[in-house]
Amino acid sequence: MAAVSLLVLVGAVVLAVSFRYFYRRELLPWLPPNTSLVSWRLDGLERAPQALFDFWRYGDSGYRRKKIIALTFDDGPYPLYTPLLLDILKHYKVKATFFVVGIHVREFPALARQIVADGHEIANHTNRHRRERDLSQEELREEVLGCEQAILDVTGQRPRCFRPAGGNLSDEGIQTIQNLGYTSCNATVNPGDWWQRDPDKLIEWSFHGRSREGVTLMHSGALGIVRALPGYINSLRAKGFEFVTLSELAHDIGQPLPELPKRTHIAEPSKAGPNPGLGSPIPEADDEYAP
């Protein structure tokens, strides 16, 4: 009787561990448009049994897929932290994606140009880091176009990815940015670098939810991630990950990001003028879908 109970227990543990593995593996590399964090996780839960069954039936067909990760840095460019991040990325030969804020691009144009010159991807994170909940759809549109114009004026680049300030968009907001030709590029890993200052904790938490592909949310103005980044890059490399930009990741998983359409409407440069301090303050704890 004891032997049977032990067998059942071992079986249950094996099943639970494999289910967890396939759940993580089946998570999407970023939140697709119209998906909340909760439904994204439920989606992984729904597909995990099928992945487990496929593994048992056909072998692990995804086994040879590359392990790739896109590091993303939001809210900059900032003096002080952005140059440090760029130095570290250059030293470790890592290409990342910077979701920049339009007024910061105009305030620190040399930093925006350095991001592009170093081979990183530059992406749209609104003109003044205003959240959709505080805006009409027309104002959201102006925020997106204002940032796009700042990036174009300063770097000559046209971004393809948009990430909302604060991380959330309503269905209506998603429609607005899609109408402008953008793909909503959220993150799958949110280590909380804007308040967590312990590099070991940051590295440990960054692995939560890791599957073969991932997009890590970090911030251009956070000291924690500057300290943690070298160790983070090394530990991901040791686990076999390659670092890519968001466009490269999208291409690799067969969902290439479309080019933006030609605009007839040219957004005016922000009338608010540059921010007098060192960029905007670091986001607060309730930002960026904080845990």
Catalytic residues: 74, 219
Contact flag: residue 143 with Zn ion (CB under 5 A): no
Strands 97-100 and 68-74: parallel
Q: How far is the CB of 31 from Zn ion (least distance, A)?
A: 15
Binding segment (CB under 5 A) for Zn ion, from list 51-59, 73-81, 206-214, 220-228: 73-81
What is the SS3 string spanning 116-151? HHCCCEEEECCCCCCCHHHCCHHHHHHHHHHHHHHH
CB under 8 Å to 237, separation ≥6 — which residues?
none
Contact 96, 269 (CB under 8 A): no
Contact flag: residue 74 with Zn ion (CB under 5 A): yes
Binding segment (CB under 5 A) for Zn ion, from list 52-60, 74-82, 90-98, 108-116: 74-82
Cβ distance to Zn ion smaller for residue 212 or 219: 219
- Nearest alpha carbon to residue 260 among 165, 166, 144, 154: 144
Q: How far is the CB of 147 from Zn ion (least distance, A)?
A: 12
Contact flag: residue 107 with Zn ion (CB under 5 A): no
Cβ distance to Zn ion smaller for residue 168 or 175: 168
Binding segment (CB under 5 A) for Zn ion, from list 3-11, 67-75, 206-214, 256-264: 67-75
Question: Packing angle between helix 137-155 and helix 171-179, nearest 10 degrees?
Answer: 40
Contact flag: residue 132 with Zn ion (CB under 5 A): no
Cβ distance to Zn ion smaller for residue 75 or 148: 75
Contact flag: residue 75 with Zn ion (CB under 5 A): yes
Cβ distance to Zn ion smaller for residue 51 or 140: 140
Question: Which residue's CB comes closest to Zn ion?
Answer: 74
Strands (E), the chain: 68-74, 97-100, 121-124, 161-162, 183-184, 213-219, 242-243
CB under 8 Å to 256, separation ≥6 — which residues?
247, 250
Summarize as ranges the residues that interact with Zn ion (CB under 5 A). Answer: 74-75
